[in-house]
Structure 1
């Protein structure tokens, strides 16, 4: 039989005993509860001492527990698949990193993460804008059109590189404009990798809960401003994964 340990989801700034229900990772119905040290607690559930597969099911279970806790508390998310051998090892973690956790909890107090992605709606229109805005691209397209197809290989390669560079520059300009409009209502922000030709912004914002409505309104205003051109995907509030990720290395 596999040895049992304690799966850690997050850290919170209180030592009041809490039970969050049978929502633990692993689909066994394990109860999620707290183990405390002074005025800190780790949110944990019983778990086999195993390395969990990085799957949608497991990641969702991990995140849902943290989301449940953050309904009532500010939290420090702990990296997925952090399993202690015992309750005492959890308390030792809280004791050894007490000052670090207290400082981070102060930084995260009453704050939440909101995510915004911005995507162009009509790529044909965007590519046409690139041609219209760049004289060299327009001239090279006309040159290719006037040549037999078997003589245009090098020109087509050059054209593709020019269009790609112009597209990236356009993404940067428009993404930065949106970012500048949103970061004014946030405490901090992170830009993440963008995917595909049409995504121009993928960002996370750390927002004080007292300004969450203000941030919502700014997203609405941007949606109206860019209606027909840019689609916004707005997610949150979620745990501050982009700003805190507690990593534990057991000795």
Structure 2
């Protein structure tokens, strides 16, 4: 079990409910990081974020009431916002949403002390870097026209079902749907490779994510040096220009390096 999973599991097994509160863990940072006073975290009421240090590392934590389950959209947003804002300034190892331990002592004894060297090494790997996500999504009408233009069977099927009720053309519609789905999958593979090629010169590492939508053309996470924001924006601008009218390209970030932190 990874240290981050251990922290999340602790919510179910710890006796935190006896004291009424527990320590919610957002992630790991170097011990010399400072948290701005008044920074609020998850929960209702929101606890103030603080550091629990040990050796060269520290955990970003806040107190949460154990009788008020987390899971509201505001909680998830607060979790991500804190990590992303932190990653814009300092290295951070983000934990998945919902990691809770009994108290600050448990954070040290169960998390920081046993995994100190592992966390310290991982922080070195993301030092000076931040994550971006490039998402491309096919324009529905544009990709359909492209498929019909390139695939004769799809074009014939489209003509056969035109103006006819769904019940009378069920088989044809199912076959057309299969062709479209399969063709988009093939195009996604090619277009994802194009994104990776475009970004490879400006990124330290790249991770191809699973599609988040059936019309995704590419979904790629990139680990980038903080000083290269302009370079990755320029690369994405080039993709946007190249795919104008065909694929909507979005650049998300900077954010915490969710895709580049090991879990073992």
TM-score normalised by structure 1 residue count? 0.84
Aligned to 1:75: 92
The aligned runs of 1:5-20 (5 Å cut-off) are 5-15=22-32, 18-20=35-37
Deviations 1:169-224 (A, max 9, x none): 22322232223212332122222232444321122111121322211111112112
CA contact 1:117–1:199 (8 Å) conserved in 2: yes
SS, match of residue 237 in structure 1: strand
Larger Rg: 1
The aligned runs of 1:1-251 (5 Å cut-off) are 3-15=20-32, 18-49=35-66, 52-92=69-109, 93-121=111-139, 123-141=140-158, 153-244=170-261
CA contact 1:52–1:58 (8 Å) conserved in 2: no
Deviations 1:16-70 (A, max 9, x none): 6645424121132422111111111111112223574333111011122223333
Judged with a 3 Å threshold, the aligned counterparts in structure 2 of structure 1 residues 20 and 234 are, in CA distance, closer, same or farther, namely: farther
Deviations 1:113-135 (A, max 9, x none): 101111223x2332222122123
Return 5+ residue gaps in structure 2 as ranges.
Answer: 1-17
1:73 Cα shift? 1.6
Which stretch shows the higher mean deviation, 75-84 or 156-165? 156-165
Judged with a 3 Å threshold, the aligned counterparts in structure 2 of structure 1 residues 133 and 51 are, in CA distance, closer, same or farther, namely: same
- Supply the distance in 1 between the matched residues of 2:33 and 2:72 (Cα, whole angstroms): 32
CA contact 2:142–2:246 (8 Å) conserved in 1: no
- Supply the distance in 2 between the matched residues of 1:169 and 1:196 (Cα, whole angstroms): 15
1:3 Cα shift? 2.2
Deviations 1:102-123 (A, max 9, x none): 11101111110101111223x2
1:225 Cα shift? 2.0
CA contact 1:77–1:246 (8 Å) conserved in 2: no
SS, match of residue 185 in structure 1: coil
Return 5+ residue gaps in structure 1 as ranges.
Answer: none
CA contact 1:11–1:40 (8 Å) conserved in 2: yes
TM-score normalised by structure 2 residue count? 0.80
SS, match of residue 60 in structure 1: helix
- Supply the distance in 1 between the matched residues of 2:74 and 2:21 (Cα, whole angstroms): 21
